[in-house]
Structures are given as structure tokens and as C-alpha cells.
Structure 1
Amino acid sequence: MTSLTPKPSQIESWDRLPSDWHNDERMDALFAFFKDRDLNPVHYDAKMKFWSETIINYCEDHGLLQIDIPTIVSRFRRKGKTSKCLDKIFEELIKQNRLISTSDYTYSQQSSWVSWTFNKLASPLTSWMSTKTPIDQEVFIIKELVDKKAQQVIETLQSNVYVPTFDCVISFSSFIDICRRCALFDENSINLIISALIRDKKILIDYIGDTKNVKVVKFVAPGTSNVRPITEIENSVLLLRHSKERLEEQLKKSDQQIEGLLTDIRRHLKNSNRTAAMKLLRKKKILEREHDKKESTVEHLNTVLTQIEQTDCSSLVINAYSSGVQAHKELLRKNGLTPDAVEDMIDEVHDMLDTQNELDEALSRPVVNDTTDMTELETELEELLNQPIPPTVTTPVPSNKEIITTSITDEAIKTPEQDPFADLELRLQKLGVQESTPHKVADIASSSH
């Protein structure tokens, strides 16, 4: 059986080569047959994960969307040794639905692309379509990589769109170039991507021109979910671009022919063969006139295409303005914003402010209910002002004797315990008795007893 990729690449040059690849002891264990999982489940799962992820990553980096065991065996040789456990790895990947046989993948697709694409895809693989094909002879498709690469191709195509009306249609050869830029190198992988994109309605393939001899690919425009049929405007623009490209190719050939004639003319002149040089010179002049005409036509086509693109851009601007106006109107309508509504709202605001001012004024008034007549108060105040002012009573200044008596009295009040008759003596002094003897005091005291 012939492998899908008969030219094996050097695994050592792979950027994502696992670090364990250079560990002899580790790789001897990984290259050996699988043992029963019950004996060592940790080692079994680690080995399964190593090979599964390594194979998928390698296929992704090298643009391989379909693989078989012989291809992987040839790619992953190490020091003359090959892995003895790949059949077990493939069985596990099939159980996980990460690998799908070519026949199963074919039957799962829509008939819209099977009719034309898979005939080309499966033509070299018809011997593998039997369901009884041994696993080491079956070709498997890595569905997760097909979907991932298909999305990458669409994103690359959409990144080159500047005018959606025209730029979403390209020649089939340009589409193949985009696929190769996405690391899709073999024809089978490219056909798988085409099939997946047609199935998901992301691209369509058609022919344009009077004789339908120009193969083009239209892809889904940015911001949309499905591709639409080619319109008359797109068809016209495509024909203009195709004509311009053909003229540019002819101009390149004319330049090469003119350069060749100049070389021959110089050679004939060097050999003194003026007749041959003159004949070639006339031919050169004819080619130059044709070259100038084609060059002028190319410039005219560029001008037309530029004007069409400008018209489309102007249309986009007008549509954007229209959408903005409609959105603004809808927003005003939804929120009930009209000139009359705004005027009514302003009037309500003024009324509310007037009401608030009245409330503030009412709240500033005193709460106590004072019923006093202000006229009576004014009359009484006037009478008080007209009454005569009473004379001021002056306090007489005490004499020295009184000051002494007062001081004595104060002293006696302060110290009654020292002299029991001090209070009596003070009273006699106040009654007018000027002199008092101890005998009199004693008599008064005895009489009091």
C-alpha cells in the first residue's frame, strides 16, 4: 500500500517535538506494545495521551487532515526503530471520534458537495472504501483539524475584504493560494477543506464569462453566516478584473518579447547585419504600439474599477446615514420625545418650581397663634414714653463710726465662740448705750437669767 505522504519529513526538525523524544529510556517504553491497563493505569493513560496529542499536533503543523498508520510509522522513526503501539492509539482515537474513516466521513456529508468534490477526493482512495478494510490499511480523517483549518481559511479570506460587494469573489487559483498559506499542501487536504466549507455554506464555486470558462470562489462576507449566490454586479466586476489580469499578463509577455528583440537587434548590428536588425526593429515598434494600447486599456479598466468601488463606498456611507437616521427616529419614538412633549415637560417643571416656592414660603411662617392687637401695643408704648422719669435714690456714704461698728459687727458675727457677750454688747450699742462696763454687762446677764 502506498502512503498518503510518501516523502517522510525529519521529525527532529519539528518545532513542537516533545522533550521526551531525546530520552532513550522513556522512548523505549513509549515505542513498545501496550500492556494491559489494569497492570499500570497511570503509565497506560500517559502513553496514550503522549501519542494522541503528538500525532494530532504533528498533522496540524504539517497540513495533514487525513492520516494512516503507515504514514505515521514512517514519520515517527527514531534511531531506526518504529512504534509498535500505533494500532492501539488509532483505535482509541476512533472511539473518541477524533478519527473518522474516509467512508464514514463521506456518508455523513451533504449530497450537495459529494456529487463533485468527493469524486475527486476519493478517486485515489477507492480501494479503502470497504468497511472490512484492516485498520492498518484504512485512511482516517481528523475532523477537528478539518473544521479548524476551514475556519482559518475563511478568516484569511475575510481579512482581505475591503469592499464586501466585490471582494468576496476570487479566482479559484487565488483560493488555492490562500489554502497553501494556511499550511494545506496536499491536494486531498485542500479538497477536504473545500468540502467542509461547501457543506457549511461558507463558500460556493461557480463559473463566469460568456463561455463559463472562468472558475471562481465566492465566500461568506464578514458579519454574515451563509454565502449568497453571485450577483450580476459581482459577475460584471469579476469579468472586468479578469480582463485586466489577462491584459497584465500579456503586457508582461510583450515586455519579454521587446527585450528579446533588442538583444537580437544588438547582435545583428554587432555582426554588421543591418537588414536583419532593421526587420527586427520594425517588429519591435509594432509590439511597442500594441503594448501602449494594452497599457492604456489597463489604466482605463483600473479607473473604471476604482469608480465602481468609490460608488460602492458612497452607497455604504448613504446606507450608514440612513440606518443612523432610522435608529434615531425609532429611539425618539420609543421614548416619546417630540417638540410638544418637551414643551409640556418644561411647563410642568415650571409649575412644579412655583408650587415648591409656595410651599417654602408657607413653611417659613411662625407656628404660634399670636392674637395680640398691634394697635393696642403701640398705644401702650406711647403712654410709657410720655410718663415722667422717677428721681434716682442715692445711697449715703457711711461715716467712720459706722464703718467701725460694721466691721466690729462683722467680726463679732464671724467669731461668736470667742466672746459670749459680744452679741449682747453689739445690741446695746445699737440701742444707744455709749459706754458699758463689765458690771453692767454682768447685771444684764444675771437679770436675763
Structure 2
Amino acid sequence: MSSPTDYLPPEWHDEERMRVLLGPMPLPHDAVARKARCTFWSAAIHHWCRVKLKFTFTFQECQRAFRRGTQNPLSLPGVLLHMNSLGEVIPVDQLPQGERSVESWAHWGYRVLVVTPFNYSWNKLKEALGVSNILETTLVNTLVLQEMCNKVYKICSGLNSKSAPLSLAELYNQVGESVGSVDNLYLIVETLANKGLAAVTVHSGTTYVKFTMPGDTDKPSITQVELAEKDLLCAQQQVEDSVTQLCEETANLRLEAKRALSSGSKPEALSMLKRKKRLEKSLTTQLGALENITSCIQQLQDTRINKQVLEAFRVGVEALRTAVSGDTSPDSVAETMDDVQQVLDECQDVSSVLAAGIKSPNTEEDEDILLSELNHLLEHEEGPQQVDQQYANENTDLHLPDVPKRSPLSSFNLSSEGTPEKFA
């Protein structure tokens, strides 16, 4: 289990080090000490926001988070002003939110070349004069906000494969562990919408969000058809819950009527049956409504699929038109086919010539010489074979003696070791 103060830096338990860091901001001429103080506390504030899953905070909340015993970090006001001058923290009212309207080149140049430098210079001037009201407003940690935006967009673009709009409640169920609160999620969605990565609309009191798919370059848009489908899905869920509840109540009333009848209370049992009858009529009506809603949802889905098929046909027609564009008249096609046939005939002629091989001018004389040499070799090979065959024919009457079946020494009454048997 994580500790409530697990965001504190490692130097927090170093008494001597923290005595210096908790002191006031060094004077302006000590630039090295001021930079070290701002670097330490900036990193500590960023880590605090990441661990606590909060990118909006006030100066008072930050001061309480880093209070060490009875000592407050006296340099926090200067650190926050420094972070504001760098754009790491800004007042929440300066955070760009919502979808951008189409911006002209003149307005873009005015915003980039005039407004942004003026705001930066004005913040620097207020910091130097010590009249900044940044400590009295809610601040936004822009670095942590950007990290959370990237995380939410990565999760939602991977889960929402059909690029359908989601309600803010449905979205929070998917990414709630990464954003901390619904208010944080709303600011994240508004920031993504400002960057063109999401579309946000409010319909029937519910905020819907639709994200771009990976690889899309166009801004997403939520159509009325999608909103109507969401309304039908919500109505379907409500009717299904109502039908389930009516079924349970009908079963309970039937059991209670049996119990009352067994206890001898016939009027009470009759009353239970009447209530059961009314609930059954309501159940029949809601089942019919559920069937109508389901049919309407199916028709909307079929319409969307048909639209996708028609769009695929349209793209295919454009591709075919592009493929056959150019000179495709019958005369041009016939001329091209004649050229192809001519090239094929030439290739066939070349193949026939290569298959015929190359013959020497004295081919017949060479073959006669080779045949004469081959006959001479055959005569030399047949000579030894004929002699062997003749010798075999002459000695066909010769027979070898049979193999003896007992030892030749047995006639002399000798054992196998050469000793007479009687002396063995």
C-alpha cells in the first residue's frame, strides 16, 4: 500500500539539506543558487502531481503537501512564478479548451507573433514587480496534463476500434485509474479536442466524446445518426432493466399469493393476483417496445454498413476509372495486341534457333572416326571375355571332392589334441 507522502523527494530526510531548501528564495544576483532551488522544487512539484494524479492545484495545496513539520517551503511562490514564466504551470482560465474554429492566416500570425510574446513578457514583468496574482488562482501543470492526454488517447484509440462516441461516464470507466477524477478527465477531453484529436458534444444532458483513429488526419465529428443510436441503446438498456424488474416482481407476487392462500387469506391472495395481472400487461407492453427499439437499432446498423459498402463501391469505381484512363480505343488495343504478337513470334524464332544447337562443318567425318574407335574398343573388351568363356567350357567335366563329414584322424583313434584315446 502506497504511503500518503510517497511523492516526497529523497532529500526530505536530510536535515541539513532541507534546512537550506525550505528557506527563502536566494537573491537575484545569486543566479546559481536560484537555479538550483527552482530545479529542485519544480521536479518535486511535477512528481507530486504525477503520483497524486492531479494536474490542477492551488498554491495553498502545494504548500500543505510540502510542509515539513511546522516549516513551510518559503521559496514556493518564486518557484511557481518561475514555472509560470516557462509555461510549465498556467492559470486554468488560460488553458486552451474545446474545439478550435477555423483560423485564418492573419489570426494565426496575430496569436503567434503578438499574443504569445506579450503574455510571456507580461508574466515576466509581474514576476519582477511582485504583483502577480498567480498564487490566488487554480494552476494547471501543463507537463503532467500532456502526459495524461497521451495516455488517455492511447488507451481510447486502442479500445474504441469502431470509432464510436462514448459518454463521459463510459470513458471514465475505461481510463479512471489513469486520470484520478471526472474533473480531470473533462479537462483532458477538452484539451484533446483543442488539438483536433477528439470531438466533444453535449446531447440530452450527456457529454459524448469521439476520438480519432490512429492514422486519421481529419478531425472527428459526431453525427446525429450516432447520437440517435446512442439514445436507442440507452433506451434499450433501460427497457431491459425494467423488464427484468417486472419479471422478478411478477414471480414474487405469485409466491405471495400462494402463501396468502395457504394461510387462509383468500382476499389478500386475490389482490396479489390482480397486481400480478397488471404487471403482466405492463410487461407485455415493454416487451413490444423492446422489440421495436431492437429493430430500429438493427436498421441503423444495417444502414451504416450499407453506407460503408457504397463508399467502397465509389472508391472502386474511381480506381477503375483511373486504371483505364488514357487511349483505350479499340484501334489502340488492336495495335497493341499486334505488337505483342510480333514480339512473341520473334521470341519463338530465337528459341527455335537456340534449341537447334551448333554443328561443326566436319560433323559426318567426325562421327565415322568416333564409330571406328568405338568398335576397336569393343573388340579389345570382348577378347578377354571370350578367352575366359572358352576356358570355362573346356573344364566343365572337372569335379571337386566332397567336403568330409568327420575328422580324418578318427581312423587312427586320435583325439582332437593328437593323443590316442586310450591314453587320454
Q: Shorter-chain TM-score: which interval?
A: 0.5 to 0.7
1:298 to 1:286, Cα distance in 2 relative to 1, 3 A: same
Contact 1:11–1:76 under 8 Å retained in 2: no
* Residue of 72, 86, 93 corresponding to 2:62: 72
How far did residue 151 of structure 1 move? Answer: 4.6
How far did residue 321 of structure 1 move? Answer: 5.9
Structure 2 SS opposite 1:219? strand
1:71 to 1:309, Cα distance in 2 relative to 1, 3 A: same
How far did residue 204 of structure 1 move? Answer: 3.1
Aligned ranges 1:52-67 → 2 under 5 Å: 52-67=42-57
How far did residue 198 of structure 1 move? Answer: 4.3
* Residue of 213, 218, 230 corresponding to 1:225: 218
* Residue of 218, 237, 243 corresponding to 1:251: 243
- The CA distance in 2 between the partners of 1:271 and 1:320, in whole Å, is 70
How far did residue 283 of structure 1 move? Answer: 1.1
1:108 to 1:358, Cα distance in 2 relative to 1, 3 A: closer
Match of 1:87 in 2: 77
- The CA distance in 2 between the partners of 1:66 and 1:13, in whole Å, is 19
1:351 maps to amino acid:
E
Match of 1:32 in 2: 23
* Residue of 177, 199, 212 corresponding to 1:203: 199
Match of 1:192 in 2: 187
* Residue of 172, 187, 206 corresponding to 1:215: 206
1:143 maps to amino acid:
T
Contact 1:61–1:183 under 8 Å retained in 2: no
Structure 1 SS opposite 2:219? coil
Match of 2:401 in 1: none
Match of 1:102 in 2: 92
1:276 maps to amino acid:
E
- The CA distance in 2 between the partners of 1:155 and 1:323, in whole Å, is 30
- The CA distance in 1 between the partners of 2:205 and 2:91, in whole Å, is 34
1:30 maps to amino acid:
L
Structure 1 SS opposite 2:221? coil
Structure 2 SS opposite 1:35? coil
Match of 1:139 in 2: 138
How far did residue 197 of structure 1 move? Answer: 4.0
Contact 2:98–2:190 under 8 Å retained in 1: no
Aligned ranges 1:336-375 → 2 under 5 Å: 341=336, 344-345=339-340, 347-351=342-346, 354=349
1:25 to 1:257, Cα distance in 2 relative to 1, 3 A: farther
1:185 maps to amino acid:
S
- The CA distance in 1 between the partners of 2:132 and 2:288, in whole Å, is 62
How far did residue 73 of structure 1 move? Answer: 1.7
- The CA distance in 2 between the partners of 1:13 and 1:276, in whole Å, is 64
1:48 to 1:268, Cα distance in 2 relative to 1, 3 A: farther
Structure 1 length normalisation: TM-score? 0.56
Residues 259-285 of structure 1: CA distance to partner in whole angstroms, max 9, x if unpaired? Answer: 765786587568654422431233134
Match of 1:286 in 2: 278
Contact 1:154–1:219 under 8 Å retained in 2: no
- The CA distance in 2 between the partners of 1:345 and 1:61, in whole Å, is 73
How far did residue 203 of structure 1 move? Answer: 1.5
1:34 to 1:334, Cα distance in 2 relative to 1, 3 A: farther
Contact 2:58–2:136 under 8 Å retained in 1: yes
Structure 2 SS opposite 1:11? coil
Structure 1 SS opposite 2:206? strand
Match of 2:179 in 1: 183
2:140 maps to amino acid:
I
Tell me, which stretches of 5 or more residues in structure 2 are unaligned? 103-125, 362-424
The count of corresponding residues between Structure 1 and Structure 2 is 326
- The CA distance in 2 between the partners of 1:28 and 1:76, in whole Å, is 13
* Residue of 170, 175, 178 corresponding to 1:174: 170
Tell me, which stretches of 5 or more residues in structure 1 are unaligned? 1-8, 113-130, 208-212, 367-449
How far did residue 247 of structure 1 move? Answer: 1.3
Structure 2 SS opposite 1:64? coil
- The CA distance in 1 between the partners of 2:318 and 2:237, in whole Å, is 42
How far did residue 92 of structure 1 move? Answer: 1.8
Match of 1:125 in 2: none
Contact 1:218–1:230 under 8 Å retained in 2: no
Contact 2:250–2:276 under 8 Å retained in 1: yes
How far did residue 93 of structure 1 move? Answer: 0.8
How far did residue 326 of structure 1 move? Answer: 4.5
Match of 2:38 in 1: 48
- The CA distance in 1 between the partners of 2:148 and 2:326, in whole Å, is 45
Residues 316-353 of structure 1: CA distance to partner in whole angstroms, max 9, x if unpaired? Answer: 356446535644664575999x9764763463254266
Identity of aligned residues (%): 16
- The CA distance in 1 between the partners of 2:313 and 2:20, in whole Å, is 68
1:89 to 1:52, Cα distance in 2 relative to 1, 3 A: same
